[in-house]
Structure 1
């Protein structure tokens, strides 16, 4: 079973759910923000930790984050395949000894291009991905690659876009899971209302091709790791 850990009600799994259904992989969405208990990570085929408006260090206001950090550390111990997206990637970096800056000078909003560096070009997470690839960003914080990790992707605005830890464990700063409905909802978080949706729609074909491939690659890698 794939476990999707949702940290924020406005940050759902989006297109990831369609890919899991297409692959025939059983999955469960867990609302960590609502206090749903986290399982033993060893029982999971793979784990995806989603984003959120809050930051890694906001545990006083969002106490579920401390539980998610402990859960990620347990997943690293059990070597359970894991993908952290945006806040999820920041939580992974923090749990593994990296540094999360809040706020960060590496802020990005809307459609961006990300470069896959040499180490990423040979990594199966980015197999079949254009270089650079089009993705969507919405972050004011950023992570460093934690000790023992390998940088896989970067951008001019944000030097650490993706990293790998030993085993099938990845953190990414960008959002491969979003769709029109999610971006539209996020536009409404700003006052006055933002308009990242129009840029997303204009780049949607390129975005979907790269994002679906990245997520499908992780599903395949996690499934293979658990079967080996």
Structure 2
């Protein structure tokens, strides 16, 4: 079973459930924002921690974030494969001893490119991708990976886009899970509103190719590591 941790009602799992189900696995979405309970880790093949409008330091306003951090710590201790997306990646960095700037000078919005370094190009999460790929960004905060992490990618605006801890815990700053409905929703949230959808739709084919490859790679490597 794969577990999807949803931190914000406006930040759903997008394409993740479809891709996981296509690989033959059950999916459980935990609405952390609604204080839904976390599953027992013995039942879990992999975990994806999704994004959110809040920051990692806003525990007083969003007390459930402490429960998410605790679940992530237990997953790291048990070496459960984990992928943290945007806020999820920032939480992973924080839990493992890195830092999160809030607000950050490295914020990004809309379709952008991420550049893999040599380690990223050789990492199984990015297998089959070119050294530079198109993705979607929407973040005001950014992480600095913990010292023992391997930096895998960057962008012109943001020096840390992806990192790996151990064999199978990953944090990414970008959003491989989004679809047009999510992007349209996010463009309507700020004041003033943003036209995020036009650029996304113009690049949707290349975005989908890279993003689905990344998510499928994570499912595959998690399944391989957790196979009895």
Global fold match (TM > 0.5): yes
Whether contact under 8 Å (1:42, 1:78) holds in the other structure is no
In structure 2, what is the equivalent of residue 4 of structure 1?
4
Other structure's SS at 1:218 match:
helix
The reply on whether 1:192 has 2:192 as its aligned counterpart is yes
Contiguous gaps of at least 5 residues in structure 1: none
CA distance in 2, matches of 1:93, 1:215: 20
Q: What is aligned with 1:20?
A: 20
Partner of 1:130: 130
Structure 2 length as normaliser, TM-score? 0.98
Q: Deviations over 1:172-228 (max 9, x none)?
A: 000000000000000111122210100000000000000000000000000000015
Q: What TM-score does the superposition give when structure 1 sets the normalisation length?
A: 0.98
Query: Do 1:154 and 1:161's aligned partners in 2 also have CA atoms closer than 8 Å?
Result: yes
- SS of residue in 2 equivalent to 1:100: strand
Q: Quote the residue 1:210 is aligned against.
A: 210
2-side partners of 1:222 and 1:43: how far apart? 13
State how far apart, in whole Å, the 2-side matches of 1:210 and 1:148 are. Answer: 27
How many residue pairs end up in the alignment? 228
Residue 49 of structure 1 corresponds to: 49
Q: Which runs of 5+ in 2 are unaligned?
A: none
- Alpha-carbon distance in 2 for matches of 1:147, 1:39: 30
Cα distance, 1:40 vs structure 2 = 2.8
- What RMSD, in angstroms, separates the aligned Cα atoms of the two structures? 0.8
4+ long deviations beyond 4 Å: none
Shift of 1:17: 1.4
The alignment partner of 1:39 has SS state of coil
Q: Which residue of 2 aligns with 1:38?
A: 38
